[in-house]
Structure 1
């Protein structure tokens, strides 16, 4: 277990395959799946396979539009006990200097403080979490005020 990377309960995560350089992520070992906040999404077919296009706006950044093949669609129960049907995609996660492929669902996390929630399937086998610590692998820099 000594080769496991220690994460805090919140970290910066990137989803480079989607054009997301760095976003605040909550590491939640109580959640099985991971979720990405999207403002909107739409389905389409590419080469006979189902795809999803989506739009998000990282805090302080321009709108990002991305698309990915649909990996799965299944019911997810949120922390409030509400069940919704969500689309899942597979994409690269860059976290704490490592990169791995994860599955993540597209959700409306508008009322949440973190646009990315990383559940235990995304961190199992590579990371361990210290819930008393946060941002062990860097922080977002605040922009200097304009003069």
Structure 2
């Protein structure tokens, strides 16, 4: 017997998530029920008057110069304790995420995730009541984009 709600959708532990309100095409996100909050990889941000923030989302992990500039209201400010125990102040904004045909309004912390595999983290708060995570599968609702470049093999190398 499961506690799955009839309106919950099963997603993989990795999905490609678009941010349509910000014109951000699908980026790789990790579904992490161990994390309470969600976060998006930003190159930089600047607080503006009137409780607004200007920030840049890199469209490519490898080329952080290909950016989308976004201005959004600051929903709130919070302190986040990371998995290694360090505490950081973080600005939180709100937007709609799109995973396949499913959309949800979520809060996202603005943080540099350039060293992480996934450029977005979807935590428990974003997942609860909407999505169930299949920890054995990836890309259940989204398609992995085709690789754009392949490493060339040298002759005689396996």
Query: TM-score of the superposition, structure 2-length normalised?
Result: 0.84
1:57-79, CA deviations, whole angstroms, 9 ceiling, x for partnerless residues?
12267211111000000100111
Conserved 8 A contact 2:20-2:97:
yes
Question: Which residue is equivalent to 2:155?
Answer: none
**Structure 1: distance between partners of 2:37 and 2:51:** 21
**1:14 and 2:18 are equivalent in the alignment:** yes
Higher strand content, 1 or 2 = 1
The CA deviation at 1:133 is 0.6
**Counterpart Cα distance in 2 of 1:140 and 1:118:** 20
Partner Cα separation in structure 1 for residue 100 and residue 77 of structure 2:
29
What is the match of residue 72 of structure 2? 68
| Structure 1 residue ranges without an equivalent (≥5) | none
In the TM superposition, residue 144 of structure 1 has moved relative to its aligned partner by 6.3
What SS class does the counterpart of residue 116 from structure 2 fall into? coil
User: 1:58 is matched with which residue?
Assistant: 59
**TM-score between both structures, scaled by the size of structure 1:** 0.90
Structure number with greater Rg is 2
Aligned partners of 2:25 and 2:59 also within 8 Å = no
Figure out how many residues of one structure are paired with residues of the other and give that number. Answer: 142
User: How far apart are 1:40 and its partner, in Å?
Assistant: 0.4
Structure 2 regions of 5+ residues with no counterpart? Answer: 151-158
Aligned to 1:140: 145
CA distance in 1, matches of 2:146, 2:42: 23
Query: Residue in 2 aligned with 1:98?
Result: 102
